[in-house]
Amino acid sequence: MTTIRAIRGMNDILPEESVAWQYLESAIAAVLDSYGYGEIRLPIVEQTALFRRSIGEVTDIVEKEMYSFDDRNGESLTLRPEGTAGCVRAAIQNSLLGVPQRLWYSGPMFRYERPQKGRQRQFHQVGAEAFGIATPDIDAELILLSARLWRLLGVADHVQLQINSIGSSGARQAYRTALVDYLTGHREALDEDSQRRLQSNPLRILDSKHPGTREILADAPVLTDYLDAESRADFARLGELLQAASVPYVVNPQLVRGLDYYNKTVFEWVTDKLGAQGTICAGGRYDGLVEQLGGKPTPGVGFALGKERLVLLLEALAVAPPVPAAADIYVVNAGTAAEVAAVAALETLRDALPALRIVQHTGGGSFRSQLKKADKSGARWALIWGEDEVASGTVTVKSLREQGPQESMVVADLPNYLAQHSAP
Ligand code: ATP
Ligand code: MG
């Protein structure tokens, strides 16, 4: 019989990997909480129309990356490819938008892409979104919050902040015309994807990684020259605020982002430690999106960070916490009477010292083989119950790290003894 394997691009995260994920997740939750962001938990499946209307019909995601299917009622549903659309949908539906809102979410996203390092079909994002604030102080807040996270995680020296303003939709339209004019003159030198985008989504060409296309782009008109006055002023203000907070940045006039809903400020945090998949966090303003999805006009801004890429970065920089041994204590209990004595004592011990990781040997076996397992476990102590211990109501504590005598004690003294000796 053939064995069933996971779907391509959808990975298991094993216990030894989870350590880095948990480290990352607790740092993220702490930072977001400290800036007053509240966690919102959103469904993984939404109506397909939600993504078509928000991300945009002629984006890579909607054109070719969504996992869509008809449910049993014939309604088209989609595994979410990103979180902002669902978050906006939820904020409208639950009437959250009468006052400024700071929200965050975390979870799996799905895109049918070519799997490679830092690019999966099921990947995981944390997103933060702020609603109801039109001024660039909130753009700065989101960036400062992410910068704090990089410092906390120990990756700050290896990430670079790139910012740009893509202006109002009017400004983008004027620029679009100029860009198409220029690129049409160099059509033959563009890669195939970019030629196709010349009609459908020309701004996205700025994002192309194709060397020939990049060469042509070097002399292309620059979006910055087409910006409306308000976008210009807000962008300048953002720069001032970032400087005031000592967060370095580079202005990248070709940064446009691949989703249709963005306007004004966009930004990315990039690293050169992960090869081609170097963007670990990306976001921007989306002032029209709430209205576009049926809510009252409400400005919005947010970012999403890719957890896989951050975990890879923690690994590359060797700043992930070490994987701890499977147990602090391995319990040797040979014989049925010893098992009974141990199980009762261990529940009391767990009540007293809940932080200790205690693994009781299960499945029987000789005293010798159990002790071998204790040695292999990486635990700091073995607790031993044998015939003698059972007869005398005692337990033997054997240090597995330091050479030294074994200590025997009455079971009632065990929690105290371990509490005193468990300081690192
Ligand atoms: P990229 O240019 O790398 O494809 P993107 O512009 O499609 O990224 P966003 O949709 O803005 O990315 O998502 C925000 C972040 O989520 C990215 O910066 C990245 O860290 C992560 N991300 C996006 N797609 C994937 C994926 N397929 N696998 C892993 N992480 C991803
Ligand atoms: Mg992408």
18-66 per-position pLDDT tens digit: 999 999 999 999 999 999 999 999 999 999 999 999 999 888 899 999 9
The pLDDT tens digits of the residues spanning 286-330 come to 999 999 999 999 999 999 999 999 999 999 999 999 988 889 999
**Hey, whose CA ends up nearest to atom 19 of ligand 1?**
306
Are the beta carbons of 146 and 252 closer than 8 angstroms?
no
Give the model's pLDDT for residue 350: 97
Ligand 1 centroid, distance to 127 Cα (angstroms): 12
pLDDT for 259 equals 78
Ligand nearest to the CA of 304: 1
Q: What are the residue ranges in the chain where pLDDT is below 50? A: none
Q: 329-419: same fold as 15-167+227-316? A: no
Which token pair is 6? 């996971």
For residue 161 the two structure tokens come to 């902040």
pTM of the model: 0.92
pLDDT, residue 126, reads: 98
Q: CB within 6 Å of ligand 1 — which residues?
A: 82, 111, 113, 118-120, 123, 125, 258, 277, 279-282, 304, 306, 308-309
CATH of the structural domain 15-167+227-316, one choice from 2.60.370.10, 3.30.1360.20, 3.30.930.10, 3.30.365.10: 3.30.930.10
Question: Any idea which architecture 329-419 has in CATH?
Answer: 3-Layer(aba) Sandwich (3.40)
Question: Among all ligands shown, which has an atom nearest to the Cα of 11?
Answer: 1
Half-sphere exposure of 225 (CA within 13 A, CB side): 7
The strand pairing partners of 45, in sequence order, are: 79
Burial of 187 (0-12, 13-18, 19+ CB in 10 A): exposed
* Ligand 2 centroid, distance to 156 Cα (angstroms): 23
Q: State both tokens at 300.
A: 């919005």
What per-residue confidence (pLDDT) applies to 423?
Answer: 67
What pLDDT does residue 294 have?
97
Q: How far is the CA of 148 from the centre of ligand 1 (A)?
A: 21
Backbone phi, psi, residue 394, to 5° = -120, 175
Q: Where do the domains of the chain lie?
A: 15-167+227-316, 329-419
Give the ligand 1 atom nearest the CA of 277: 3
